[in-house]
Amino acid sequence: MTDEEILHEFRASEALLEGHFKLSSGRHSGHYLQCARVLMNPERAGRLAFALAQKIPRDIRSQIDVVVSPAMGGIIIGQEMGRALGKDAMFLERPEGTFHLRRGFRLEAGAKVLMVEDVVTTGLSSREAIAAVGREGGEVIAEVALVDRSNGEADLGVPFFPLVDINFPTYAEGEIPDELAAIDVTKPGSRKA
């Protein structure tokens, strides 16, 4: 898939939102990619996962034992990546603030894990999820994401293969431009988003 074909999938599913959003990183943006919308159609989700699987170098792909993704945003694309790669897929949760496996999921000692995210902005959530896999006995050998919003700057500590780079500006709390500050802020995942 070309970048334009990928962006077409986001536009066609109304997954590219405009307004004032406070991202999970704490930064603010005038744009938000609601990946749940682009993934709500199983056929589209499968196409995107297949294209994402093609981004992983063959030598890394051949080592993957299992796919792990952080809840909530990574669950659907993680499941579809498991299907595309022919591997089991499980997800991490953090009901008390720290990621861990629940629901009977477990990793074999030394399991080679592909971490799957929907969007990476600063990489903080990814690094927390990667650390959780280590605590659970696995080893993350690479990460993939539908979208890299970090402008290539996210350091995850493992090879990173995004499907597409989309670099909308983001702002720290004290740097929000007046025109953005004038718009009511929405926290993605809330009822407004």
- pLDDT by residue, tens only, the chain of 193 residues: 888 888 888 888 988 888 999 987 788 999 888 888 999 999 999 999 999 999 999 999 999 999 999 988 899 999 999 999 999 999 999 988 899 999 999 999 999 999 999 988 888 889 999 999 999 999 999 999 999 988 888 899 999 999 998 888 889 999 999 999 999 998 875 544 4
Q: Which residues contact 192 (CB under 8 A, 6 or more apart)?
A: 186
* 154 backbone dihedrals φ, ψ, rounded to 5°: -65, 125
68 and 90 Cβ atoms separated by less than 8 Å: yes
pLDDT at 191: 43
pLDDT at 73: 84
CA–CA distances in Å: residue 156 to residues 5, 61, 124, 178? 27, 18, 8, 32
pLDDT at 189: 59
CA–CA distances in Å: residue 190 to residues 70, 172, 186, 187? 18, 20, 7, 6
pLDDT at 27: 84
Query: Where does the chain have alpha helices with state H?
Result: 3-12, 35-39, 42-54, 58-61, 75-85, 124-135, 178-181
pLDDT at 168: 82
The single-letter DSSP state of residue 74 is T
